[in-house]
Amino acid sequence: MGRKRQEITALHLIQTYCLPSLTYGCKIWSMKSHDVKRVDVAWNNAFRKIINSHWYESVKPLQFYCGCFPVSIILPMRKLLLWRKMPCSENVVFCLLAKYCKDSIFALVAKYHFSTHDVFTSSVTCVKQRFWDYFPDLL
């Protein structure tokens, strides 16, 4: 992007083109915590590159200010949003998969202080807002 790049434009480009590539298929990943950390580091390094900061500086406040989740929140949020659609689906495979994944999803629900009722009855916007409410705890 050159020397006279605009940070907001660069941020928009990485959110539009890089993040989908980085998180492709994340709804069905079964990742260990160190794997999530590696993906999170890649995402954080993109932010660091844009703002010319050092590797040891946290970018979480910048992500919060820019309205962008860290990958460590994006992954569970996308899994939870997919799971809430699965039991209502007419697809038999989705319904069976929802029953099979129930324990891991309940662990996500508990981690982010949702109630199971909230996950099914709330709109997608409300679920995302709950993740935004959790995000400042990471700062």
Domain residue ranges of the chain, discontinuous segments joined by +: 7-138
C-alpha 1, offset from chain centre: 26
Average pLDDT by stretches of 10, the chain with 139 residues = 74 87 80 84 87 82 83 84 78 78 77 72 78 73
What pLDDT does residue 1 have? 60
What pLDDT does residue 3 have? 66
What pLDDT does residue 115 have? 73
99 with 86: CB under 8 angstroms? no
Side-chain-facing half-sphere of 101: CA atoms under 13 Å: 21
92 with 121: CB under 8 angstroms? no
SS3 for 90? coil
What pLDDT does residue 2 have? 60
